[in-house]
Amino acid sequence: MTAEGLPGWLRQLATVLPEVRAEDISRFVPPADPGRQGAVLALFGEGPHGPDLLFIERAHTMRSHAGQPAFPGGSVDPEDADAEAAALREAVEEVGLVPSGVTVFGALPPLYLPPSGFTVTTVLAWWREPCAVSAVDQAEVASVVRVPLAELAAPVNRCRVRLLGDYTGPGFRVGGLLVWGFTAGLVDALLRFGGWALPWEPTEVVDRPLPPMGRGAAPYDPADLPDDGGVPE
């Protein structure tokens, strides 16, 4: 769809999308062999407190990224026509989204996640007809929260997150969650591209303990952790 079909506050983001490069978000661009394909859904809605984004909190028993805030998403399966289809399917399975009320208006360039070998496409959508959403499968999703863009952009809610003493990346204290890692890098980029970012001083650094490992997970290896702000979780 064209930018004119979106609410006014989304039009800048839709307009600049064709010019966005992967390097504008992360230094991890897909290699010649992109490996496994994944997709996440950045779903913009208009809630009681203004324009917002939908996040999930991953279940605390998952094998990877346990308890971590994220956008709905997962692997692109063979039956998925493309990344858009995969992102919408995952949102249906995870939060009960009704796709007929959603208009996809673009995607960010694919980004590479070295620890997992995934190349991930972030699909952007306008939630023109909101529906009730919740954690459909609590083995995967602990909670669902809609966070106003104003809260994400507010300097008081922004911080840097540090892991193992050397990784630091953007963080957001919102909705009772600490958003960090790959998802926070995406949010930081979306705020910039959409014209919602506010000046802030990255003076607060939060030491983030490693999330609890789910059943059967391998021990953490420091080499598997991200080392700049726009890279994988």
**pLDDT at residue 230 above 70?**
no
**Residue 24 is assigned to a structural domain of this protein:** yes
Kindly give, in sequence order, each residue whose CB lies less than 8 Å from that of residue 184, ignoring residues fewer than 6 positions away: 161, 169, 170, 171, 172, 229
**pLDDT at residue 180 above 80?**
yes
| CA separation for the pair 86, 117 (Å, rounded) | 18
State the pLDDT at residue 169: 86
pLDDT 10s digits, 94-137: 999 999 999 999 999 999 988 778 899 999 999 999 999 999 98
pTM: 0.86
What per-residue string of b and e applies to 171-199 under the rule 16 or more CB within 10 Å gives b?
Answer: bbbbbebbbbbbbbbbbbbbbebbebbee
Residue 15 corresponds to which amino acid? T
**Residue 230 is assigned to a structural domain of this protein:** no
State the pLDDT at residue 1: 52
**Residue 144 is assigned to a structural domain of this protein:** yes
Q: Supply the range of the domain harboring residue 140.
A: 3-149
| CA separation for the pair 97, 93 (Å, rounded) | 8
The CATH number given to whatever domain includes residue 8 is 3.90.79.10
Instruction: Provide mean pLDDT across the span 43-52.
Output: 96
**Residue 177 is assigned to a structural domain of this protein:** no
The two structure tokens encoding residue 166: 């050397």
Instruction: Provide mean pLDDT across the span 35-56.
Output: 95
**Residue 185 is assigned to a structural domain of this protein:** no
The two structure tokens encoding residue 39: 């997709």
Least Cα distance to 110 among 195, 227, 28 occurs for 28
Structural domains counted in the chain: 1
State the pLDDT at residue 226: 38
What per-residue string of b and e applies to 77-112 under the rule 16 or more CB within 10 Å gives b?
Answer: eeebeebbbbbbbbbeebbebeeeebbbbbbbbbbb
**Residue 30 is assigned to a structural domain of this protein:** yes
Instruction: Provide mean pLDDT across the span 38-46.
Output: 97
